[in-house]
Copies of this chain bind each other. A is one copy, B any other.
């Protein structure tokens, strides 16, 4: 039997290895972007002072490092991959916060809320570009393959975000579409993180593919748990209001699954979230102050030909739901089976991830560490 490895130690080592290299990479950036990135990652306060409690979990970095070791290479071989995937991850968070108009992340103001949308946008652009430079800058013969894999994963992640955005404008999204979007949005980058060390180590393609499959399934399981927390998570832990995804009418797994149930309660949920007038599809335009709404998801920003004086991030101009309505919707999602279905998805994809790991030819200890890390990530407070 392979001995258990403490996940806390695995993450701590990943942080200790990755942070100095990440900080070194950030030094190439202009001061304004460096300050924003360092604040965003959780190293500094808004005024540039170091934080007592440094942030960042470095799960992706740990996957990258372990994936090198799993193919009998040194941890250091996976390190440029660890830095690069953390850069892409943080790029996506910076742009996501901006698109979602989120004022806070992990109980702190977001970068755009502090320094304006333009700096958040440029900081994201800079981190994405830096990720390619970090990989290609190693000069390793495997670096181009790793950079290719990372670009492919980044492209898939962006496509997933574009789907997410498109779904906001639609009343009906199928369960398959929702799962495809989650795989692209979250699975692609975790799949890359879990295999980039193997790519950098020059491991056989079949091994890298198995590790990528492990990471992709892990990403979907992770997203399923995230979607559960988005409705039933403790606000003190998530840093978001209770029932946040319901408030924002997100097409998350539990909600989409519940809407697909097709019974009376599912129809009540649909009417509660998106308005009574089920047959209509065009909808009435909504006053800018949000005071007038027939409940349709119609965004001015989505209507070609209209000139906006100021960009508008809120995807839908629907009437805000009351606390009672949020609670009722959450209860309906549960009664329609959305909670149970999503929890089952989390379990199934975690099992698939572990299966993919089991079938690959890998070094025993890092394989065990990858498995333990996967279980830890999926089981956090769910």
The chain A residues found within 8 Å of chain B, CB to CB, are: 28-30, 32-33, 46-47, 95, 98-99, 101, 103, 109, 112-119, 121-122, 124-126, 128-130, 132-133, 136-137, 143-144, 147-148, 151-152, 154-155, 158-159, 161-163, 165-166, 299, 301-302, 304-308, 310-315
Contacts and interface: CB of A to CB of B under 8 A. Distances in A.
Contacts of A119: 162, 165
Closest 7 CB pairs of A and B: A116-B301, A117-B311, A144-B144, A99-B118, A132-B151, A46-B304, A30-B162
A98 B99 CA distance: 12
B129 A154 contact: yes
A286 B101 CA distance: 22
A117 B301 CA distance: 8
Given A32-B162, A116-B312, A162-B119, A129 B128 contact: yes
A29 B162 CA distance: 10
20 contacts: A30-B162, A95-B125, A99-B122, A101-B311, A103-B307, A109-B307, A113-B307, A115-B301, A115-B304, A117-B301, A118-B165, A118-B301, A122-B161, A124-B125, A125-B125, A128-B129, A133-B151, A133-B152, A136-B148, A310-B314
A47 B303 CA distance: 11
Integer count of this chain's copies in the complex: 2
Contacts of A311: 98, 101, 112, 116-117, 311, 313
Contacts of A313: 116-118, 310-311
Contacts of A121: 95, 98-99, 121
A126 B155 CA distance: 6
Given A136-B147, A311-B116, A305 B46 contact: yes
Contact of A305 (B109, B151, B312): B109
Contacts of A162: 30, 32-33, 119, 122, 126
A132 B158 contact: no
A112 B98 CA distance: 14
A307 B98 CA distance: 13
A147 B125 CA distance: 16
A225 to B, nearest CB: 25
Contacts of A128: 125, 128-129
Contacts of A305: 46, 109, 114
Nearest to A137: B148
A312 B117 contact: yes
Given A151-B132, A313-B117, A126 B32 contact: no
B147 A132 contact: yes
A130 B116 contact: no
